[in-house]
Amino acid sequence: MLSVGDTSEAPDPIDSHKSVSRITLRQVLLAGLGDRLRFGKKFTHYEVADDGRVTAFFEDGSSAAGDLLVAADGVHSRVRRQFLPHADVIDTGVRAVMGKLPLTEETRSLLPPRLFDGPASILAPNGHCMFLAVHEFGDGPEGLPGFAGEDGNPVALPPGLLHDNTADFAMWGFSARREKFGLPAELKDLDGTILRRVVLEMIADWHPNLKRLVHFTDPSAITPVTIRSSVPIAHWGTKNITLIGDAIHSMTPFRGIGANTALKDAALLCRNLVAAQRGEKSLLQAVHDYEVEMIRYGFEAVKNSLRAMNQAVSDNAFALATVKTLFRLVNAIPPLKRRMFKDQGNK
């Protein structure tokens, strides 16, 4: 097995790995929006009027009209299905089991010190792979804001570690092709207790600390994931409907750049829409400029993530040895490693 991402250097205060809670990030992004945001709506379809305005319709019978519809509804985007029915998302055949457990004195002792400087991947024979990451949030402010409902009142998060953004934790993700699990059922149909047992059986000959890490994970904090990936498409011709994030370029998690790419989409689209609002370009030109650039880097990220997945779960001994040699070389040359991870975060 090979642990990737180890370093004896002190972490760079700017370029080093940072822990970000997606729950907290969501809370920050929602802050100050007030009644401009509506929850509890499920999109069904849209219609474009003769004057060019687009109306989105919802299951409860309500609707909303505007000059631009932005699909940010994820890998199963209903907007994409109507707007770009040829934009396929494929099942890669890879499955993952994800676990999360608190960072206690006991669980910390199971992790190598270098893991606290950044995440690591373990590439094992037989096409097995495990991702490990530590998330330490430090001494944050008391009373993190909660989610707000349509009436502005706090919405309680479901109980359990999966939704806790107030305590340090470690996470692991075990991946392999579906047939490697040797199960008649799909992982999504199994509960956390069974998933934990399956993973423990598949890593039976791994280091005892890794097995303990999985064993100590509460079943309620273990989830199955079907790894999907978008199929790149050419530009479709700009209209007043566009897409960001997983709605258009869903990718595997094996390069860890999906969320960053979605945030890059949002920033780029925002800049172009501000330019349109200032009269520097038309709305359609602003959307077109965004789409051309987004398609370029978005599907490049899709391709790189898919390649990384195929390397990680390959049971080809030669391919595995090649990847291990590459990572050993990268780990042995700190400037090369810094460049590699910096490039990964910027794409």
pLDDT in tens, 177-233: 999 999 888 999 999 999 999 999 999 999 999 999 999 999 999 999 999 999 999
Rounding to the nearest 10 degrees, give the CA dihedral for residues 283, 289, 295, 301. -110
Token pair, residue 264, equals 């890059």
pLDDT in tens, 235-271: 999 999 999 999 999 999 998 899 999 999 999 999 9
DSSP-based three-state secondary structure for 229: strand
Top pLDDT among 240 and 34 is at: 240
The yes-or-no verdict on residue 174 having pLDDT over 90 is yes
pTM: 0.80
Confidence of residue 7 (pLDDT cuts 50, 70, 90): very low
Token pair, residue 60, equals 């409860």
DSSP-based three-state secondary structure for 256: coil
Sign of the CA dihedral running 339, 249, 70, 77:
negative
Q: What is the pLDDT of residue 317?
A: 58
Confidence of residue 316 (pLDDT cuts 50, 70, 90): low
Q: CA separation (Å) from 155 to 73, 150, 152?
A: 21, 9, 9
**Average pLDDT, whole number, for the chain?**
84
Q: How far apart are CA 335 and CA 331, in angstroms?
A: 9
β partners of residue 243: 71
Q: How far apart are CA 98 and CA 84, in angstroms?
A: 31
CB crowding 39-49: b at 16 or more within 10 Å, else e: eeeebeebeee
CB crowding 196-220: b at 16 or more within 10 Å, else e: bebbbebbeebeeebbebbebbbee
Top pLDDT among 22 and 245 is at: 245
Name the DSSP letter for residue 85: T
